[in-house]
Chain A
C-alpha cells in the first residue's frame, strides 16, 4: 500500500484520541491483511519480540524508579540536593535539576523521573510563590534527562534495533546529559535573577551533614547500576534487577517510605506503568515491520543518493522528521519506526550509530515536551491538575535550550563520542 493513505489514516486515528498502541497495532494488523500476510504472523511477531533478554531491563528499571518514588529515596535525593543548592536564588528549581540528574542515573525513564520530582517539588515551589508555569516547566524539562543520562530505556530499545552495545550507548549519553543539566541550571539562575525570585533558606551545618549521610544509600544506586554494567559484573537487565531489589530493601529498611505489605502492590503498579510502554512497543514493532517490507528504506536511500545529500544535510532532515513525529508519537514508537529506516544510511554517510543514538535521544527528549503527545506535559498536568497549556507555556524556554543542545550534539559528534572512544577505543 502507498505510504500516503497509511500516514493519513495514522494521523487521523491519533487526532481522534485513539490510544497510541491501538493506532499502531490496528493499522499494522490491517496492513498485514492488505499485503496478504497470514495474520497469525502478526501475533507471532509480538511474542517473538517479547522473548528478549534485553527488553526485560525495561520493567526492572521502571520498578526501581517506582520504589524510589514511593519508598522515600527520591525525597532523600531532593533533600540532599537542597542542602547543596537550595540556598541560592531560585534554589528549589536548581534542586530540581540536580536531583533529577541523580535520579536519571537510576531510573532510565523520563516519565518516571518527572513523576517523582513533580510530586515532591511542584507543590514545594508553589508554596514558595514560584510562578506555576515556571515550576511546571522546570520539572517537565528536567525530567527528560531520564532518557539521556544512563541508564536509558530509549537507548536500550535503540540498541535492540541497531544491534549496538548498550554500555557504549549509555556512556555516550553522559556528557550531553550533564551539558543539558548545566544549560538548564544557567537558564534558571538567569531567569530567577531577572524575576527577582527570593533566595532559598540555607541549611545549617548539622542539617547539611545529616541529610547528606541520609542520602548515601540512595546515592549507591547509580554506583550499583553503572558500576555493575561497566565492570562487566552484570548485564544491563541484571543491573536493572539488582537496582530494583536494592531500592526495595533501602525503601523498607532505611527510608521506610513503604511497608512489606505494600511491596507486591507497588511491583504490580510498576508493571502497569511498564505495560503502557510495552503495548506501544509491540504496535510500533509491527508498524516498523511494514515500513521495512514496504521498501520505504530503499526509497530513502535512493533519495539521499540522488540528491547527493551530505551527512549534515541528512542529519538536519532527520532531526526535522523526528521533531515532527515526536509531536504525535510516544518516544519508543518514534525510535522503532525511524531507526530501521535510516540505519542503512548511517555507514555510507560516515555517521556513527552511537552518535546517532544520542541525536535521536535528545530529539526524543523534545518529543516528551512537545504537544499534542508530550508525555511529560501530561504527567505534570496530572500531578498538578493544571491544564496542559500551562505546562506547555512553562516548558517553551527549555525547548529552545534543547534545540540549541540538539544542534550542538548533532554537529559536534565529539561531545557524544569522547567518553565511549576513551573507554572502548574507536
Chain B
C-alpha cells in the first residue's frame, strides 16, 4: 500500500468515526433532552429542535457509505467463493478479472447517475421538511462520492491485478492447525 493510500484510508476512517460519533451523541442527546423539554420551554423558552433525527440520518448514511471504498480495497464485500476456490488458478484469474471490471463499471455508473440526482435536487431546490430546511443535494452528494471512491478503488485493484499480479490476489483457502488458533488467541 502506498503512502497516499494510507493517508486516504485514514481520512476515510476519520470521516466515518467523526460523523457516526456525532450522530451517536445527537441521537442520545435527543432522548435525554426530550425529558427536559417541558422544563426548558417553561423556564427558558427553549424548544427541542425538530431536526435532530434528520441530521442523525444524514451523518449516519454518510459514515456508512464512505466505508464502501475500503471494503473494495480489502475485498471485504461479501461473496461466495467456495466454488471458485476449487477451480484452477488460470480460471480464477479470468473470473476475478471479470469481477473487478464489472465492479468498476457498476460503481462508475451509479456514481454518474448519483451526480445527476444531486444536480436534479439542486435544480428543484429540494429541501428537508424541518425548520432546518436543509438543502438535500448536500445529503445526496454521498452517492456520487461513495460510489466514485469505490470505482477508483476498483480501478486501482484492476491495475494491480493486471500489471502487478501476485498469487494472493486470487481466492485463498484458509489453513491453520489447532495449535495455530490457540497461539493466535494468546498472542
- Interface check A39, CB cutoff 8 A: yes
Q: Is the CB–CB distance between B102 and A22 below 8 Å?
A: yes
Complex: A222 Cα to B120 Cα, angstroms: 44
Give every chain B residue within 8 A of A123 (Cβ-Cβ): 181-182, 184-186
Complex: A53 Cα to B130 Cα, angstroms: 14
Q: Is the CB–CB distance between B24 and A267 below 8 Å?
A: yes
Q: Is the CB–CB distance between B181 and A274 below 8 Å?
A: no
Interface string of A1-27 (1 = CB under 8 A from B): 000000000000011111111100110
- Interface check A304, CB cutoff 8 A: no
Cross-interface CB contact of A264 among B21, B84, B96, cutoff 8 Å:
B21
Given contacts A126-B178, A275-B68, A387-B175, are A15 and B24 in contact (CB under 8 A)?
A: no
Q: How many A-B residue pairs have CB under 8 A?
A: 212
Complex: A388 Cα to B173 Cα, angstroms: 8
Q: Is the CB–CB distance between B99 and A241 below 8 Å?
A: no
Give every chain B residue within 8 A of A40 (Cβ-Cβ): 113, 116-117, 120
A257 to chain B, nearest CB (A): 15
B174 to chain A, nearest CB (A): 5
Give every chain A residue within 8 A of B139 (Cβ-Cβ): 47, 51
Give every chain A residue within 8 A of B110 (Cβ-Cβ): 25, 29, 42-43, 46
Given contacts A51-B139, A271-B16, A381-B174, are A17 and B80 in contact (CB under 8 A)?
A: yes
- Interface check B63, CB cutoff 8 A: yes
Give every chain A residue within 8 A of B184 (Cβ-Cβ): 123, 385
Q: Is the CB–CB distance between A53 and B57 below 8 Å?
A: yes
Give every chain B residue within 8 A of A272 (Cβ-Cβ): 16, 67, 70-71, 76
B117-173 interface (Cβ within 8 A of A): 117, 120, 139-140, 142-143, 171, 173
Give every chain B residue within 8 A of A165 (Cβ-Cβ): none
Give the residue name and chain of the B residue nearest to A228 (CB). Answer: B31
- Interface check A94, CB cutoff 8 A: no
Give the residue name and chain of the A residue nearest to B77 (CB). Answer: A19
Give every chain B residue within 8 A of A46 (Cβ-Cβ): 110, 114, 143
Give the residue name and chain of the B residue nearest to A42 (CB). Answer: B113
Complex: A272 Cα to B15 Cα, angstroms: 12
Q: Is the CB–CB distance between B79 and A119 below 8 Å?
A: no
Cross-interface CB contact of A384 among B12, B53, B171, B176, cutoff 8 Å:
B176
B82, B99, B180: residue with the most chain A Cβ atoms closer than 10 Å: B82
Complex: A372 Cα to B81 Cα, angstroms: 7
Given contacts A29-B109, A279-B68, are A386 and B176 in contact (CB under 8 A)?
A: yes
- Interface check A56, CB cutoff 8 A: yes
A311-359 interface (Cβ within 8 A of B): 328, 330
B175 to chain A, nearest CB (A): 6
Given contacts A123-B185, A245-B24, A387-B175, are A238 and B61 in contact (CB under 8 A)?
A: no
Q: Is the CB–CB distance between B181 and A39 below 8 Å?
A: no
Cross-interface CB contact of B63 among A21, A59, A328, A386, cutoff 8 Å:
A59
B79-99 interface (Cβ within 8 A of A): 79-84, 95-96, 98-99
- Interface check A265, CB cutoff 8 A: yes
B33 to chain A, nearest CB (A): 12
Cross-interface CB contact of A16 among B99, B114, B186, cutoff 8 Å:
B99
Complex: A278 Cα to B68 Cα, angstroms: 9
Q: Is the CB–CB distance between B181 and A59 below 8 Å?
A: no
Give every chain A residue within 8 A of B171 (Cβ-Cβ): 17
A268 to chain B, nearest CB (A): 4
Cross-interface CB contact of B20 among A22, A63, A124, cutoff 8 Å:
A63
Q: Is the CB–CB distance between A17 and B16 below 8 Å?
A: no
Give the residue name and chain of the A residue nearest to B180 (CB). Answer: A385
Given contacts A126-B181, A271-B66, are A43 and B143 in contact (CB under 8 A)?
A: yes
Cross-interface CB contact of B28 among A242, A265, A381, cutoff 8 Å:
A242
The 8 A-B residue pairs whose C-beta atoms are closest, nearest first, are A385-B176, A264-B17, A123-B185, A275-B67, A241-B27, A19-B77, A372-B82, A17-B84
Using CB atoms and an 8 Å cutoff, list the residues of chain A in contact with chain B: 14-22, 25-26, 29, 39-40, 42-44, 46-47, 50-53, 56, 59-60, 63, 119, 122-124, 126-127, 132, 233-234, 237-238, 241-242, 244-245, 263-265, 267-268, 270-272, 274-276, 278-280, 328, 330, 371-373, 375, 378, 381-382, 384-388
11 other A-B residue contacts (CB within 8 Å) besides A16-B99, A17-B79, A274-B64: A15-B84, A19-B77, A20-B80, A29-B106, A42-B110, A51-B57, A241-B56, A328-B80, A372-B81, A381-B174, A385-B174
